């Protein structure tokens, strides 16, 4: 999917259109904040945190890869996630990003988001937001709606982190990318 800024949720749309519109806006804002940087910049930290933009790119790739596969329907999310020893390093996604090139991180994120969009569209077309997932949590089976909302929350939190880190790297501030922005 080629995105052109601004990405706005509809002013008057369905629940699906609003949820997906908000999620896509957060995805694009995060990608803009993390975009166009070299390896040193992607590994930069603010003094009070170990978070890096590279780590956030890989972490959100992991979340996208597992949200509508493993977390909801217990389906294999694929590599590199399946072969990771998460018990040895529960934050492998954050830590291993320092070993990846910017091109690898951007390609992983962009391809994972595209696959996640396709999977979510298929699920929504097949059973809608009210369909029950295959997991049990607190004695109940959550709906797909809950997992879409969880992904919106994940992006909201990490886009705020990205704002702070990016400003510390090169002073980039703002809520919206420039008109016509595209991932680089």
**Is pLDDT of 17 > 70?**
yes
Average pLDDT over residues 35-63: 95
Q: Check residue 176 and give its pLDDT.
A: 76
The C-alpha atoms of residue 146 and residue 2 are separated, in whole angstroms, by 27
- Please answer whether residues 118 and 124 qualify as being in contact, where contact means their C-beta atoms are separated by less than 8 angstroms: no
- Would you state the pLDDT for residue 4? 54
pLDDT score of 184 more than 90: no
Q: Which of the four pLDDT bands, split at 50, 70 and 90, describes residue 159?
A: very high
Give the H/E segment covering residue 118: helix 102-127
Distances (CA, A) of 94 to 1, 51, 60, 67, 154: 26, 8, 10, 17, 15
pLDDT at 8 over 80: no
pLDDT band, residue 1 (cuts 50/70/90): very low
Q: Is 64 exposed, middle or buried (0-12, 13-18, 19+ CB in 10 A)?
A: buried
Contact status, residue 70 vs residue 76, Cβ threshold 8 Å = yes
DSSP 71: H
Q: What distance in Å separates the CA atoms of residue 182 and residue 135, rounded to the nearest whole number?
A: 36
DSSP conformational letter for 143:
B
Indicate if the pLDDT at residue 5 is higher than 70: no
Q: Provide mean pLDDT across the span 3-24.
A: 80
pLDDT at position 6: 60
Q: How confident is the model at residue 3 (pLDDT cuts 50, 70, 90)?
A: low
What confidence tier does 11 reach under pLDDT thresholds 50, 70, 90?
Answer: confident
What is the distance in angstroms between the CA of the first residue and the CA of the last residue of the chain? 14
Residue-averaged pLDDT of the chain: 92
Residues 59-82, mean pLDDT to the nearest whole number: 96
Least confident of 6-10, 109-113, 149-153, 177-181: 6-10
* Complete DSSP assignment for 20-47: HHHHHHHHHHHHHHHTT--HHHHT---T
């Amino acid at each position: 999917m080629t995105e052109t800024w601004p990405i706005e949720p509809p002013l008057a749309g369905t629940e699906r259109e609003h949820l997906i519109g908000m999620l896509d806006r957060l995805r694009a804002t995060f990608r803009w904040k993390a975009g166009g940087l070299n390896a040193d910049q992607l590994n930069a930290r603010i003094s009070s945190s170990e978070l890096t933009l590279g780590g956030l790119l890989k972490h959100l790739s992991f979340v996208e890869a597992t949200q509508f596969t493993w977390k909801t329907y217990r389906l294999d999310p694929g590599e590199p996630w399946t072969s990771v020893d998460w018990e040895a390093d529960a934050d492998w996604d954050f830590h291993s990003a320092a070993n990846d090139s910017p091109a690898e991180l951007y390609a992983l994120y962009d391809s994972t988001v595209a696959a996640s969009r396709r999977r979510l569209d298929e699920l929504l077309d097949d059973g809608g937001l009210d369909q029950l997932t295959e997991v049990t949590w607190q004695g109940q089976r959550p709906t797909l709606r809950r997992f879409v909302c969880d992904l919106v929350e994940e992006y909201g939190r990490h886009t705020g982190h990205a704002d702070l880190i990016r400003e510390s790297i090169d002073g980039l501030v703002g809520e919206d990318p420039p008109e016509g922005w595209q991932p680089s």
